Amino acid sequence: MKKVNCDLCGKNSYKILGKASENILVKCKLCGHIYMPYRPTKEEMIEIYNEDYFGEMYINGNEKADYNYLEDKPNILKFVKKRFATIHKYKKPGKILDIGCAMGFYLEYAQKVGWDVYGIEISEYAANYAKELLGNRKVYNKAIEDIKFKKNYFDVITMWLVFEHMVDPISTLKKIFKWLKPDGILGIKVPNGDGITFRSNLNKWIIQHPADHYCDYTPDTLERIMSQIGFELLEYETEGIYLERLTDKEAWLKSNEIIDFYNNTAKKVNIGDSLVMFFKKIGEEKNYG
């Protein structure tokens, strides 16, 4: 493990929020970014994402599920359709790269509706599955640091529950900026560090904090990081608003009126536990290597 400074402002002045796994979760005193300062090396990363990551560890990390990533496919597909409905508002099918494509479920849908699909996946197990599923060799089983694409190559790049795992998020974003065409779209989903669980029960958030989520982005910090690199926010929403995280009153959980009221309110104030944001590459060409 190595220690890093704040991803957003580059300084090293923080308040400790708590001990999370073998790490600490901190909040930068200067810019408000929430992160874990100790990060693994590349070799340690490859160790983490073995077959077990999509099996036993997926089950353990998902409080609502007792199934693995593969068995979770029908549920994942609902999100896939929603994500592409948004993407198609901005872009017709062209070239798409899914970073951290896991077993290829997003790309499988994209390919069906006409996209030329590319994936990067650090887990050999998941990458092999995705290659087979897509009948496609353009799934690269590598760390993003070891990947090269031409400049201005992709229409869309996506990262679904992946960016929070990035050990060096800024250099990842610089690569994405370079690989996207001008006006290209970046779609991203991360756990919401300003969602209902974080706000109402920080202790629970820290206890359940995965060891490999190095940053807890909020709508505000994610937008600031993106604009530093050269991305403009197009739209965002939050998801994963569960009444049962707030109450265990059986009567409330069974009342459709209370559930509707809660869902409408939570949606309006955008406090879901996942954050989905779409950005556009803007501005003049920056020289990101």
Residues found near Zn ion in the complex (CB under 5 A)? 6, 8-9, 28, 30-31, 33
Q: How many other C-beta atoms lie within 10 A of the C-beta of residue 80?
A: 17
- Of 188, 183, 198, nearest to 223 (Cα)? 188
How near is the Cβ of 228 to Zn ion at its closest, in Å? 12
Is 237 buried (19+), middle (13-18) or exposed (0-12) by CB count in 10 A? middle
- Nearer to Zn ion (CB atom), residue 29 or residue 89: 29
Tell me, rounded to whole angstroms, the distance of Cα 126 from its chain centroid: 17
Question: Which region holds residue 121: left if phi is over 0, alpha if psi is between -120 and 50, else beta?
Answer: beta
The CA distances from residue 171 to 12, 174, 217, in Å, are 18, 5, 16
- Nearer to Zn ion (CB atom), residue 26 or residue 159: 26
How near is the Cβ of 162 to Zn ion at its closest, in Å? 22
Structure tokens given for 175 = 């690569």
How near is the Cβ of 15 to Zn ion at its closest, in Å? 11
How near is the Cβ of 11 to Zn ion at its closest, in Å? 5
Structure tokens given for 185 = 């779209």
Tell me, rounded to whole angstroms, the distance of Cα 96 from its chain centroid: 16
The set of residues, in sequence order, having a beta carbon less than 8 Å from that of 244 and lying 6+ positions away, is 253
- Nearer to Zn ion (CB atom), residue 24 or residue 147: 24
- Nearer to Zn ion (CB atom), residue 126 or residue 173: 173
Strand partners, 189: 160, 276
How near is the Cβ of 284 to Zn ion at its closest, in Å? 26
- Nearer to Zn ion (CB atom), residue 145 or residue 220: 220
Contact of 191 with 214, CB cutoff 8 Å: no
How near is the Cβ of 288 to Zn ion at its closest, in Å? 21
How near is the Cβ of 221 to Zn ion at its closest, in Å? 9
Q: How far apart are CA 182 and CA 184, in angstroms?
A: 5
- Nearer to Zn ion (CB atom), residue 9 or residue 57: 9
> DSSP code of 151?
T
The set of residues, in sequence order, having a beta carbon less than 8 Å from that of 59 and lying 6+ positions away, is 65, 66, 67, 68
- Nearer to Zn ion (CB atom), residue 31 or residue 211: 31
How near is the Cβ of 33 to Zn ion at its closest, in Å? 5
Q: Name the amino acid, one letter, at 161.
A: L
Parallel/antiparallel/unpaired status of strands 274-281 and 231-239: antiparallel
